[in-house]
Amino acid sequence: KKKTSAKPKVPAAHPKYVDMIKAAVASLKERGGSSRQAILKYVMANYKVGTDLKAVNSRIKNALKNGVKAGTLKQSKGTGAAGSFKLGESKSEKPSKVKKVAAKK
């Protein structure tokens, strides 16, 4: 058998799905959070992700689940990839709690 050389990987014409979801939630500005369907509609309209709705939908579902698990997204309603999503708090801005020990005289 003749080995075929692997094609060089072409970078995607869009950012990561988590980044696209963050942009969608931020721009939709819904008070109770944005639904997966609304996020999907926004991503399909604003990014070059292709025309296959099922493939994009499944990737968005996975990105939503991973974003909630990582803490970058917060689920306001529902479970899994269903319900509404808001932006999560950034972890770098948490103040560290240090107890001061009183000096004895």
**57-76 pLDDT per residue, tens:** 999 999 999 988 888 888 88
Instruction: Give the global pTM.
Output: 0.71
**21-63 pLDDT per residue, tens:** 899 988 888 888 889 999 999 999 988 888 888 988 999 999 9
CA distance 46 to 36: 15
What does the pLDDT read at residue 94?
47
Query: What are the DSSP calls for the chain, one per residue?
Result: -PPPPPPPPPPPSS--HHHHHHHHHHHH--TT-EEHHHHHHHHHHHS---S-HHHHHHHHHHHHHHHHHHTSEEEEESSTTSSEEEEPPPGGGPPP--PPPPPP-
What is the set of domains in the chain, with CATH numbers?
A: 17-87 (1.10.10.10)
What's the full length of the chain, in residues? 105
